[in-house]
A and B are shown apart, each in its own frame.
Chain A
Amino acid sequence: MYSKTVMDHFKNPRNVGEIKEADGIGKVGNPVCGDVMWVYIKVKNNKITNIKFKTFGCVSAIATTSMLTEIAKGKTLEQAEKITRDDVAKALGGLPSIKMHCSNLAADALKKAINDYRKKGNNS
């Protein structure tokens, strides 16, 4: 059902954890629906220098957040904002259609983290 890349990111998720003094945090999902994703970012010179995540959810929820953090690391905020669910799904070698909402959520979590950073007003 899942691609090799999905299973690799699920079994060995990249960038799990929190950033204590994060510049932006994005929280999406709802435990009732079975997916909650929190993304933490550290920003320097308009670039994402560090990114971590925590996820409550299924195999694809964990794999998509893991892959998202890999894609976003080192990107400028403008580049990172443009990451779509299809980018994440493609990088994972595809997702079952019923699980596509997971990659949607992951991309949303990153956008929220970037907005949070900008709201804090330290986008100098």
Chain B
Amino acid sequence: MQDEGEKMIIYLDNGATTMIDTEVIKEMTPYFTEKYGNASSLHMMGVWARQAVEESRTTIAKSIGAKDDEIIFTSGGTESNNFAIKGIAFANKDKGKHIITTKIEHDCVLNSCKWLQTQGFEITYLPVDKEGYVRPEDLEKAIRKDTILVSIIHGNNEIGTIQDLKKLGEICKKNNVYFHTDACQSYTKTELDVKKQNLDLITLNAHKIHGPKGVGVLYLKKGVKITPWQHGGGHEFKMRSGTENVHGIVGFAKAVNLAMNTKHAKHMTKLRDKLIDEVMKKIPDTLLNGPKGDNRLCNNVNLSFLYVEGEAIGAYLDAERICSSTGSACSSKSLEPSHVLIAIGLKPEQAHGSLRLTLSRFTTEEEINKTLKVLPGIIEKLRKMSPLTKLVKKML
């Protein structure tokens, strides 16, 4: 819990971003005021910065079974996904102009693909089953001679579904197609291994794992044919120009070191399951969105409360100092319900009633208990106000 004035804030929106671990801040601090050199400079300040960047690179490479020079630092998940998709597309357009992705990707993948459609590329958006899984046979069928890239999100940011990358990666390998995954949500929470899962490109970022915002990684397997997008001084093995965000990179690596401990996942899993089980028990007419068990992100809870609307639930939770998010249309700029919830087969009115609660390793049992205490009352209040409750009861 975080102190804010007299009352505590319960932060259950760690899928959006996380608190920076104080250990991470400590590690970063010298690079603001003491070792603030440009990693390209030849003097001692530059050397210190270069050392810090390279040590960080090694840490992150090791965490996914990669080599150091396969790690490209970027400004975050959005940049890495844009770079992966557009970079592969333009470098391989002689082979083909077909890309496969899914209907449940993050907007930065979907919108990169949509933009590529305006540039003459053809995109297949794979459907998913009701728990959010891509069916391997669907991928197999979708691959064509001119397919150059498959991009599939590892752990879904909304409903927590963890894809079987090994199986999907084997299909890509067999068909000689590049395989990219957006692992921003899953990184350090479940296994990610470039060899075991046959990955050619991986998107990672720091701020979902208690690191700083504004720093990410694109893992680029040696030999992958890609066009750089950011041109300049030739930084990052000529793949991504721009002065290295040294303090951010140092913070990212520290965050990885702290997060790579299986006890954190165990802790989150226990609280996640308590939250899901108790809410389903206490509140009738509630749907769990996404799968149950080990193939769900250990920090993700996504529920639909029928007859009520998610933004309203979130606003009442906010009044109780609990931070959450929703896939309701009313909360989005487009006034469209979440594309992920629609892709798993929810009706729009079910998607409107969705609430996402995402935990972190700092979430306590006390916070979960407090949430469990106030949530049933909020749903009841809104249901009493809702004409849909009466309509449905009449139908029964």
Contact = CB atoms under 8 A, between A and B. Distances in A.
Contact of A61 (B330, B384, B388): B330
Contacts of A58: 309, 311-312, 328, 330-331
A121 B312 CA distance: 38
Given A10-B315, A61-B330, A34 B388 contact: no
**Which of B309, B316, B337 has the most A CB atoms < 10 Å from its CB?**
B309
B349 A59 contact: no
Interface residue range, chain A: 20 to 34
Given A33-B348, A56-B386, A57-B330, A98 B335 contact: yes
B162 interface: no
A59 B316 CA distance: 9
A121 to B, nearest CB: 25
B388 A31 contact: yes
B387 A38 contact: yes
A32 B387 contact: no
A32 B348 contact: yes
Contact of B386 (A27, A32, A54, A98): A54
Contacts of B385: 13, 16, 54-56, 62
Interface in B365-396: 384-388, 390
B384 A56 contact: no
Interface of A: 7, 10-11, 13, 16, 27, 31-38, 54-62, 98-99
The interface residues of chain A, by DSSP majority, are classed as: mixed
Given A11-B316, A16-B385, 10 more contacts: A34-B309, A34-B348, A34-B352, A55-B385, A56-B309, A58-B312, A59-B330, A61-B312, A62-B312, A99-B330
A57 B312 contact: yes
Given A32-B348, A33-B348, A61-B330, A56 B387 contact: yes
A98 B333 contact: yes
A56 B352 CA distance: 10
A54 B330 contact: no
Contacts of B312: 10, 57-59, 61-62
Nearest to A37: B387
Nearest to B329: A34
16 contacts: A31-B349, A33-B348, A34-B337, A35-B330, A36-B387, A37-B387, A54-B386, A56-B388, A58-B328, A59-B312, A59-B315, A61-B309, A61-B312, A98-B333, A98-B335, A99-B330
